[in-house]
Chains A and B, each alone.
Chain A
Amino acid sequence: MLSLGSGGAKSTKPSFVSYVTPEEIKSEKDPPKQEKHPDLLPGEVEFCSANPILKYTQDDLSQRGVFGTLFCTNFRVTFISDEKPQEKTDKTFKNKLYGENDIPLMCVDHIYGVYDEKRKLITGGLVKNKYPSKMIIHCKDLRVFQFSLTFSKEEDAKKIFQGIAHHCLEEKSLKCVFAFSYMGTPSPGTDLSFCREMQWKQETVMFDSPEDWTQEMKRTKANCRLVTENENFELSQRLPKYFVIPLTIGDLFSYQGKGLPIWCWSHYSGCALFKASFPPVTQEDGDFQKHLDTMINAVAHNHLYSVKTEDLSESLPNIQDIQQSYNKFKQFFLIENSTDFWLSDVKWFSSLESSGWLDIIRQCLQKAVEVVECLEKDNTNVLITEEEGTDLCCVISSLAQIMLDPYYRTLMGFQSLVQKEWVAGCHAFLDRCNHLHQKDKEVIIACSFLPVSSDAILQPEKSPLAQSGPLSCPTVWDWSVQFDSKAQNFFFNPLYLEKVKHDRAVRKPHKPKHQRNLSLPSTAFKTPPKKGFFKDETDSLKKMLRVKRLSRWRGSPDAPTATTREFFESWQHRPLDYHGLLLPCLDGPAVHIWMQRYLRWIPEVYILGGGSVAVMTKLMELLSQVQDLKRVLEQRDSSQAAKLDHRPYFQHRLLSFDSSGRLSSSFPFAYTCYRSFKPIIPTGLMQSLMVTDSLASQEDEASSVVSFV
């Protein structure tokens, strides 16, 4: 079994915490003799290790910690505690591939070394010099680890530090990515849930075969042409093997496929959403314009509607801005101790605003709403463009599709959407997530997509396995490898209504979370649950006369907002159809940060016995009772006895703990802290609020006379 780091991963009891100061320990000088090793994954190789290493507990200022061994492998940095877990805590949610003390190499964002009380960012040059007394690792998933290296032998400490720094920070070739070593090993997920996994795989559309695309066109009643000429990437390296374009485009090969309008999705009215990269600018102006015209005409001709084009690089922040904003934003969550936490708490809102992150999120959603408006209200075709056509285009097109198409709000639908728009859509995951650690290329587009799009129950780790692309690289998205079947149930949103009859609930798309799944060629695509969504195209003919009216949004930010506001309000006035169009409310107070993703590792914000998990527990409990009753009824009903419910029965069961009232709000993420039951009392309140005006010194009773002098 692949329960990796079982020692460390389960160390959730306070008994693990060493209450002696490091100095005291040092004098004892009695490292445990027994050698510990991590359970390696298939293809995983251990590089180096050091013992004893002190891992500081994250939740307080005191220099407390846990002693153990630090390892570095070709997949991860991992820490194994010296102490044995006293009791097996039954963790409902556990990643089978890596535990709480595992840091995949790809997940390392920055490493800092503390030299003589000074913190320095570790870069290539520093590695060769002396090793730091303390190593701080900031992860891309916003965890912060602090290891003290002073207790182990000098050469061990040096080796592990240099090893980790080398493997995490140095540029490396694509071949070194662990996914390739991991490939080809048999899937370990052969437990009870296997059948269900198969089911899942079958339902997720991978968009790596002509059939998938044909099926998708059929589903949305699109009238476009499937391009298979790029099967061997002869046409372009930057285009997928298969893609779909307007019918009338004949000349595929000019500009190496650049500027080709790529079909994303068709509205039931017949109009469609396309995305395109820019044709190369080196061409003469005339040619460029001509090419553009051809493309726009193709989009229009094909569907007999007017076209709106939108240059996203003009109207949205560019990817460098987004990256910069995210870098600023994420610093607020990389918190090393509680003093930092409370200091930064004071200026929380203004720092949040200054990062601009929420504003970017809002702009993206806003743009997506505009696109939706064109498709839904004006019934015009939309062509969104940007330089590469694989960054913001992906964000906007997938958001628009989530708002418009209820299928993409299902678990399978969402996975398929990510496959379609992001993986097959050639989003440069490698560059954007900087998997190979090449400088200056890192942009977190996907990150902006996830928080925007999902009101999620769970955010998966940015798995280093998420390598993809034209190579038939293994295991892009198989949850079952990472989580056991119980944990997988967390991905279901118990609030999701399957039947169409009940039209109420959230304005934001409330849908299950994005998942990773096995990239086996998907078999027959099942008809989407909501077949009736796409109406017949008959009335589209009536619009034949409105051909080719080309309009273009202008960059002025206010003008479209006003009309979208109207669009939103008119939508808001209609009764909410849960399975129809959903628009997000974009006013300032309605846009929040995604607490469960960004704050999940910070002990200061845990609410013991509270948070959304308390609600989920309650809901799931009730849901399972309803299912039980239903089952009883079905069994009693002889005519129905033959065909039992095939829906997974156990899926709502998982949260029935005795301690349900006492889970932390960060469940299932907060493994590190099984905190003693104590409140978190803020420090430094005095600095927080110095009201300086005269009101502060006024008497409470302005009118009353003080009775005693």
Chain B
Amino acid sequence: MEESGSVDSVESLCSSTTTRSDRSSGPRVSDTELRSKAKAVEKVYKDPSKDELPLLPEELVQDSAKDVTYICPFIGPVRGSLTVTNYRLFFRCTDREPVFGLDLPLGGLSRVEKIGAASSRGDVSYGVVCKDMRNLRFVHKEPENSLKKSVFEVLMKFAFPVSNNMSLFAFEYKQVFPENGWKVYDPLAEYKRQGLPNESWRISKVNDHYELCDSYPATLFVPVTITDEELRRVSSFRAKGRIPVLSWIHPESQAAVVRASQTMVGQNGRRCKEDEKLLQAIMDANAQSHKLFIFDARPSVNAAANKMKGGGFESEDAYQNAELVFLDIHNIHVMRESLRKLKDVVYPNIEESHWLSNLESTHWLEHIKLILAGALRIADKVESGKTSVVVHCSDGWDRTPQLTSLALIMLDSHYRTIRGFQILLEKEWLSFGHRFQQRVGHGDKNHTDADRSPIFLQFIDCVWQMTRQFPAAFEFNEYFLITILDHLYSCLFGTFLCNSEQQRLKEVRVRMRTVSLWSFVNSQLEEFVNPLYVHYPSHVLFPTVGIRHLQLWVSYYIRWNPRMRPQVHPVHQRYKELLAKRAELQKRVEELQREAANRMASSSSERAGSPTRSITPVQTFV
């Protein structure tokens, strides 16, 4: 993890590392040591052997076992003790120097199972498959008393609370942070920042109680010329009622990014005149262009196949002046399979001689390229073509938020700040109903669920690719992105729970019952700041999407491999040092100036005894 030297407090909340050999920060600190230095708010659980396990508020130890062997794929078997709480799995090795630990939130587990039968010595081995690109394997003696549950049975229960009719740890966790992250996103304020409402776009209350569309937010922006009644008609023509609504508007050209789901054209070529009118109105709202681009994220074959199932896409007959473009991005199943292959290639061992062709065969970076290329085309049409665009896929909650949010990052520098990025996620992903619960499967033991897919991970990867290409254009660093991904799975914060705004606000009331990830992040912003950030308010970023410029995100996908452990980013490190040096020098210059002024003053009053403070020459290492 980047910047790991100084992040112990943050670290304690993140799913943690295996063999930490943190060479970057001077004296090496083992994982557990790091954790015991962690925040004062954490209670310390003392177990008989004086191993200290830092616990979060409301975190309770459920079971622990000694003499568990963790079969580390990198350093071989290590013996130690395993503790399971209602939040995490904690393994501490006892027979090895330096002390080595595993500390991961149970939310990160996708599957726990017994492998094979007990050996002659009564050893049972357990496999743990994680959502964060690693697998763990433990060997443990079966308890002699067969009535007593083994620690792994306890683990299985607490790893999948939803399947066991228990609540996620996020609902127990009651940490108080200086800032309330639930207040980060206020839809009206965000639209106001974009200059909305204006003479062409209005707020519609039609979905105030999620009656029109239960996966959409309450606040919708639509063209002023379209009535709520017309919107209701449109909703019956769009899959899941996800009508075309505004996502972003260009501050100068008024070209808009509009999102939707597919039209329910079906085999008979159904039409809906209100939908046609709505798209015409979207085009008319932008005086700069007499054209509208409709980006269908799917491959055209799949879009056509959807007609068989009642779906489809806008025909150019029905939608005058609209041009339909397919972006050839594949569905959630293809993406899930691609990530599975990637995991095979990178974990635990990397086959040196075929590394590149193996990487290619996963198609992971090709998918990234297609998504970035799609977003680039959208951003280009809006920026260079001054044309409004409508983006949709099938349901408009997977590929659509990937494309719109990436395009928005390219177009609007606000979304490249830490808070702006939070707003972007809250808006494009959470409020518009990306099905996080389904895609991630929080607390659900059904690991083969076909609805799971790494759509959001893929988006974060695309963002990371852009931060690589524009190292000074983003206010946040890589660590910020990794933290978001870790807490996507951890179930510590309520941010990524549920499938829609309606569920979050009305059914589960996560804002009342859980802590927001942004509370945690915004309370220690300095950890997530990219020191090289320069704010260029008007710069549009057009990334290069060729595979030649895309890289595998090693510090995320291969972070468990100690050989690939990323170091403190040399540039960032050096830059921080320079910033500190500059501050120091500035202070000194000011001191001197003050001193000189004093001396002037004192000499005028003819006082003896000038300041004798000798100034040691400042050493820079430039």
Which A residues are within 8 Å of any B CB, using their own CB? 341-342, 345-350, 352-354, 358-359, 362, 494-495, 497-499, 501-507, 510, 568-569, 572-576, 585, 587-590, 592, 595, 599, 604-612, 614-615, 617-619, 622-623, 625-627, 629-630, 632-634, 636-637, 639-640, 647, 652, 661-662, 665, 677-682, 685-686, 688-689, 691, 693, 695-703, 706-709
Contacts of A661 in B (CB 8 A): 472, 534, 536, 539
Q: Contact between B567 and A691 (Cβ–Cβ < 8 Å)? A: no
B539 nearest CB across to chain A (Å): 6
CA distance A632 to B541 in the complex (A): 38
A353 interface neighbour in B301, B354, B373, B532, Cβ under 8 Å: B354
CA distance A619 to B332 in the complex (A): 41
- B605 an interface residue at 8 Å Cβ cutoff? no
Q: Contact between B23 and A573 (Cβ–Cβ < 8 Å)? A: yes
Q: Contact between A618 and B582 (Cβ–Cβ < 8 Å)? A: no
A611 interface neighbour in B309, B328, B469, Cβ under 8 Å: B469
- B568 an interface residue at 8 Å Cβ cutoff? yes
CA distance A607 to B549 in the complex (A): 9
A703 interface neighbour in B302, B450, B543, B575, Cβ under 8 Å: B450
Contacts of B379 in A (CB 8 A): 679
Q: Contact between A619 and B585 (Cβ–Cβ < 8 Å)? A: no
CA distance A62 to B532 in the complex (A): 39
A673 nearest CB across to chain B (Å): 13
Residues of chain B from 467 to 497 with CB closer than 8 A to chain A in the complex: 469-473
Contact with A along B573-605 (1 / 0, CB 8 A): 111011101100110110010001000000000
The 9 closest A-B pairs by CB, nearest first: A588-B355, A679-B542, A629-B585, A353-B356, A702-B450, A349-B360, A610-B470, A695-B333, A505-B570
Residues of chain B from 542 to 589 with CB closer than 8 A to chain A in the complex: 542-549, 551-552, 554, 558, 561-565, 567-568, 570-571, 573-575, 577-579, 581-582, 585-586, 588-589
A633 interface neighbour in B25, B549, B618, Cβ under 8 Å: B618
**Contact stretch, chosen from B32-40, B114-122, B363-371:** B363-371
B469 interface neighbour in A610, A640, A652, Cβ under 8 Å: A610
CA distance A109 to B353 in the complex (A): 30
13 contacts between A and B (CB under 8 A): A348-B548, A349-B365, A495-B570, A505-B567, A572-B563, A622-B582, A661-B539, A677-B384, A685-B328, A689-B330, A689-B367, A696-B331, A700-B332
Contact with A along B54-77 (1 / 0, CB 8 A): 000000000000000000000000
Q: Contact between A618 and B534 (Cβ–Cβ < 8 Å)? A: yes
CA distance A595 to B561 in the complex (A): 25
Q: Contact between B532 and A345 (Cβ–Cβ < 8 Å)? A: no
Q: Contact between B310 and A606 (Cβ–Cβ < 8 Å)? A: no
Contacts of A618 in B (CB 8 A): 472, 532, 534, 575
CA distance A392 to B286 in the complex (A): 65
> Which chain A residue shows the least CB distance to B21?
A573
- B514 an interface residue at 8 Å Cβ cutoff? no
B570 interface neighbour in A510, A592, A636, A679, Cβ under 8 Å: A510
Q: Contact between B589 and A498 (Cβ–Cβ < 8 Å)? A: no
Q: Contact between A345 and B547 (Cβ–Cβ < 8 Å)? A: yes
B345 nearest CB across to chain A (Å): 10
> Which chain B residue shows the least CB distance to A705?
B309
Which B residues are within 8 Å of any A CB, using their own CB? 21, 23-28, 236, 239-240, 264, 266, 299, 301-302, 305, 309-311, 328, 330-334, 337, 346, 350-357, 359-360, 363, 365-367, 369-370, 373, 376-377, 379-380, 384, 393-395, 398, 450-451, 469-473, 532, 534, 536, 539, 541-549, 551-552, 554, 558, 561-565, 567-568, 570-571, 573-575, 577-579, 581-582, 585-586, 588-589, 592, 596, 614-615, 617-622
CA distance A697 to B563 in the complex (A): 39
Q: Contact between B398 and A700 (Cβ–Cβ < 8 Å)? A: yes
A686 interface neighbour in B264, B328, B333, B565, Cβ under 8 Å: B328
A570 nearest CB across to chain B (Å): 10
Query: Which of A505, A576, A652 gathers the greatest number of chain B CB atoms within 10 Å?
Result: A505
B468 nearest CB across to chain A (Å): 9
A314 nearest CB across to chain B (Å): 19
CA distance A632 to B588 in the complex (A): 10
Contacts of A507 in B (CB 8 A): 567
A641 nearest CB across to chain B (Å): 11
Contacts of A662 in B (CB 8 A): 539
CA distance A611 to B574 in the complex (A): 18
Contacts of A627 in B (CB 8 A): 620, 622
Contacts of A350 in B (CB 8 A): 356-357, 360
Q: Contact between B622 and A679 (Cβ–Cβ < 8 Å)? A: no
CA distance A618 to B579 in the complex (A): 11
Contacts of A707 in B (CB 8 A): 239-240, 310
B548 interface neighbour in A499, A590, A605, A701, Cβ under 8 Å: A605
Contacts of B534 in A (CB 8 A): 618, 661
Contacts of B582 in A (CB 8 A): 622, 625-626, 629
CA distance A636 to B622 in the complex (A): 20
A346 interface neighbour in B331, B352, B547, Cβ under 8 Å: B547
Q: Contact between B469 and A665 (Cβ–Cβ < 8 Å)? A: yes
Query: Which of B239, B398, B561, B570 gathers the greatest number of chain A CB atoms within 10 Å?
Result: B570
A587-B350, A609-B473, A697-B305 known; A633-B592 Cβ under 8 A: yes
Q: Contact between B357 and A349 (Cβ–Cβ < 8 Å)? A: yes
Contacts of A612 in B (CB 8 A): 471
Q: Contact between A679 and B380 (Cβ–Cβ < 8 Å)? A: yes
Q: Contact between A502 and B577 (Cβ–Cβ < 8 Å)? A: yes
Query: Which of B236, B384, B469 gathers the greatest number of chain A CB atoms within 10 Å?
Result: B469
Q: Contact between B585 and A576 (Cβ–Cβ < 8 Å)? A: no
Q: Contact between B543 and A610 (Cβ–Cβ < 8 Å)? A: yes
A638 nearest CB across to chain B (Å): 10
Query: Which of A612, A679, A696 gathers the greatest number of chain B CB atoms within 10 Å?
Result: A679
CA distance A614 to B351 in the complex (A): 34
A300 nearest CB across to chain B (Å): 34
CA distance A424 to B366 in the complex (A): 47
A630-B618, A682-B546, A706-B309 known; A504-B568 Cβ under 8 A: yes
CA distance A619 to B620 in the complex (A): 14
A510-B570, A689-B328, A700-B332 known; A681-B354 Cβ under 8 A: no
Contacts of B545 in A (CB 8 A): 680, 682
B264 interface neighbour in A589, A595, A688, A708, Cβ under 8 Å: A708
Q: Contact between B330 and A696 (Cβ–Cβ < 8 Å)? A: yes
A610-B471, A626-B578, A696-B330 known; A709-B310 Cβ under 8 A: yes
A557 nearest CB across to chain B (Å): 10
Beyond the given pairs A353-B355, A609-B470, A633-B618, 19 more chain A to chain B contacts, judged by CB atoms under 8 angstroms and listed by A's residue number, are A345-B546, A498-B622, A506-B570, A572-B21, A574-B23, A575-B27, A595-B549, A608-B542, A622-B575, A625-B582, A629-B582, A633-B592, A681-B373, A681-B377, A689-B367, A695-B333, A703-B450, A706-B310, A707-B239
A669 nearest CB across to chain B (Å): 15
A573-B21, A609-B473 known; A585-B586 Cβ under 8 A: no
Q: Contact between B578 and A619 (Cβ–Cβ < 8 Å)? A: yes
A695 interface neighbour in B337, B350, B355, B539, Cβ under 8 Å: B337
Contacts of B377 in A (CB 8 A): 681
Contacts of B589 in A (CB 8 A): 629, 632-633, 636
Contacts of B239 in A (CB 8 A): 706-708
B383 nearest CB across to chain A (Å): 8
Contacts of A498 in B (CB 8 A): 621-622
A345-B547, A358-B356, A575-B23 known; A680-B581 Cβ under 8 A: no
> Which chain B residue shows the least CB distance to A703?
B451
CA distance A385 to B183 in the complex (A): 69
Contacts of B573 in A (CB 8 A): 504-505
Contacts of B617 in A (CB 8 A): 633-634, 637, 640
CA distance A158 to B584 in the complex (A): 68
Q: Contact between A609 and B548 (Cβ–Cβ < 8 Å)? A: no
B546 nearest CB across to chain A (Å): 5
CA distance A341 to B27 in the complex (A): 48
Contacts of B363 in A (CB 8 A): 689, 691
B385 nearest CB across to chain A (Å): 10
